Amino acid sequence: MENETILEVNEKDGLLIHQGVIRVPYTWAAGAVASKFYVGLRNRKIYGVRCPTCRIVLVPPKKTCHRCFGELNEWVEVSDEGTLQTFTVVHYHEPELHPLKAPFAYGIIKLDGADTGMTHLIAEADLKALKEGMRVKAVFKEKPGGNYLDIKYFKPVKGEK
Amino acid sequence: MERIAVVGVGQTKYERGKTKNFAELVYEVTRKALDDAGMEPGDIDNVVTTTNDFFDGRTIACMAVAEAAGSYGRDATNVEGDGTLSAFYGLMRTLSGVYHTTMVTTHCKVSEGSPRKIFNQAFDPIYDRLLGMDAISSSALQARAYMHRYGITEEQCAKVSVKNHGNARNNPYAHVALDITVEDVMKSPMLADPIKRLDTSPISDGACAIILATEEKAKKAAKKPVWIRGVAHCTDAYRLGERDLTHSLALETAAKKAYRMAGIADPLREIDVAEVYDAFSYMELMWYEGLGFCGQGEGGRLIDGGETQMGGKLPVNPSGGVLSAHSVQVAGLARIAEAVLQLRGEAGRRQVPGAKMALAHGVTGICAQTHCVWVLSN
């Protein structure tokens, strides 16, 4: 690959503007907790962890409770259905970032059995009819890839508009 | 706490596409702050810079820019975050007894990187980064949650934009000064509802520097010292779904601590001017509540009553705030610099007459995960 530090030089009032790109590959270990969460999604099961001290279930799971700093080892399966706590319909285009084409929606969903919200996409929905408190359900990816989009998005539960 | 003062401040004009490079911007504000304090580099014991390697497009960016802040042959350290946090760290160094004067600088050229892509990198690569969220879309989730819970209207948020863009007309450093109406804000393009174009802050480049000094050194400075009366910093949970997005516990905690240090019981009455981090219009209303200017859920009513306008009981963001100049890492330190100008009576057309007690506030993180509150007086 060529050195992309300077791909183009422009001039503005006698001052040079260099334009380039930084492309840096990374490897991220998902860790024991997220790995187990993603293995669960392969079987269309959503797992969280319960904090015995704070008596809350955190989804997605993590290693340590931010409140009491206790280790979280108690795995619980939560529902693939939940309640939409807040949402936004995105109207601008960022094709290299957005998994869906605008307009589309993001939401924070509290799954039944969980005490924390999960940020995700909302689709197969009338975007104008989205409202706080509406019931939504996870739509799983046919061929899971071991990442956050193994839940493709959440869609309104039938009967909800 | 031993008395520590801000003895020098310097800001660039904030604008998009500045042609000065990082070091040139940092040199400009460092020189301005030194001149303001009547000091020379030899009077500075140590330097705290503020950098973000993603925005700068280089690693160890702090080492590349420290020279321009006068670091050669001195102790130079760095903070990655908002400028209020660098100042907080600079304050602790000055209090340590090892240093008597600290130069704090911050710079950011938001226009040179890809702001939405860079902000997206703040999300967890293992989990939700793949959703493609950025500052606007994530803040929209918070805006809606807050507005829904307390019945805050889009018009009330728009009033913040009208007020701050209007105030910016009095600030020669501001980037976007506008004479607009609530209707103009409401009609501006919807980005991620309820956030519209005029509810957002601009992409600004700029830099800011302040000099902190012990009482002994402050008395020798050219300008009347501005004293730090109270300061505190508090952080909330990282994930949005694990926070109460409608009420910032971090801000409430930081404000209470800072007020206790400063001996403030009734902030709305006792503080004369506030500069807060309004990256989006709704945030200013939320920060009113977290800062105790009004009760929980009453931010909309406070702006309706005009209390936070110029001439009101507590003018908020006479400078135009972050809505009119958002050079990310700089924005919090600029709040402190503006508070200092107000307390010296040097704020020109944006001066709050007779200001004696000022508040400055900075944030960092997705939906302002962390808050830093400063109380200053003359």
Count of the separate structural domains present in chain A: 1
CA B60 to centroid of chain Cα atoms: 24
On whether residue B304 sits in a domain, the answer given is no
On whether residue A11 sits in a domain, the answer given is no
Nearest to A160 by CA among A128, A121, A125: A125
On whether residue A115 sits in a domain, the answer given is yes
- Read off the DSSP letter of residue B15: B
Question: In whole angstroms, what is the distance from residue B257 CA to residue B263 CA?
Answer: 10
On whether residue B38 sits in a domain, the answer given is yes
Percentage above 70 pLDDT, chain B? 100
On whether residue A7 sits in a domain, the answer given is no
Q: Which of A86, A110, A147 sits opposite B141 (nearest CB)?
A: A86
On whether residue A128 sits in a domain, the answer given is yes
Percentage above 90 pLDDT, chain B? 99
Is A87 touching B (CB cutoff 8 A)? yes
| Phi, psi values for residue B368, rounded to 5° | 50, 65
Count of the separate structural domains present in chain B: 1
- Quote the mean pLDDT of chain B: 97
Q: Check pLDDT > 70 for residue A112.
A: yes
φ/ψ region of B365 (left if φ > 0, alpha if ψ in -120 to 50, else beta) reads left
A1-49 per-position pLDDT tens digit: 688 999 999 998 899 999 999 999 999 999 999 999 999 999 999 999 9
Residue-level pLDDT at B58 = 94
On whether residue A88 sits in a domain, the answer given is yes
Range of the domain at A85: 31-156
Which of residues 51 through 80 in chain A touch B, CB cutoff 8 A?
A: 58, 60, 66
Residue A106: strand pairing partners:
A88, A121
Q: Check pLDDT > 70 for residue B23.
A: yes
On whether residue B208 sits in a domain, the answer given is yes
> B267: part of which helix (H) or strand (E)?
helix B267-270
On whether residue A14 sits in a domain, the answer given is no
In the structure, what pLDDT confidence band is assigned to residue B19 with cuts at 50, 70 and 90? very high
- The pTM is what? 0.97
Residue-level pLDDT at B2 = 87
Is B365 touching A (CB cutoff 8 A)? no
On whether residue B93 sits in a domain, the answer given is yes
Is A123 touching B (CB cutoff 8 A)? no
On whether residue B49 sits in a domain, the answer given is yes
On whether residue B236 sits in a domain, the answer given is no
Q: Check pLDDT > 60 for residue A161.
A: no
In the structure, what pLDDT confidence band is assigned to residue A160 with cuts at 50, 70 and 90? low
Residues 6+ apart with CB under 8 A from A3: none
Question: In whole angstroms, what is the distance from residue B58 CA to residue B21 CA?
Answer: 13
Least confident stretch, A6-20, A85-99, B196-210, B346-360? A6-20
Q: Check pLDDT > 80 for residue B1.
A: no
B234-244 per-position pLDDT tens digit: 999 999 999 99
On whether residue B373 sits in a domain, the answer given is no
Tell me the shortest Cα–Cα distance from B56 to chain A, in angstroms. 11
Residue-level pLDDT at A114 = 98
ipTM greater than cut 0.90: yes
Is B234 touching A (CB cutoff 8 A)? no
On whether residue A17 sits in a domain, the answer given is no
Q: Which of A22, A106, A148 sits opposite B127 (nearest CB)?
A: A148
Give the length of chain B.
378
CATH number of the domain that residue B95 is part of = 3.40.47.10
On whether residue B138 sits in a domain, the answer given is no
Mean pLDDT, residues A55-73: 97
On whether residue A104 sits in a domain, the answer given is yes
Beta strands in B251-292, from DSSP E residues, in sequence order: 273-275
CA–CA distance from B314 to each of B128, B177, B227, B357, B363 (Å)?
Answer: 40, 21, 20, 11, 21
Q: Which of B189, B238, B245 sits opposite A86 (nearest CB)?
A: B245
Range of the domain at B212: 4-114+203-218
A135-147 per-position pLDDT tens digit: 999 999 999 999 9
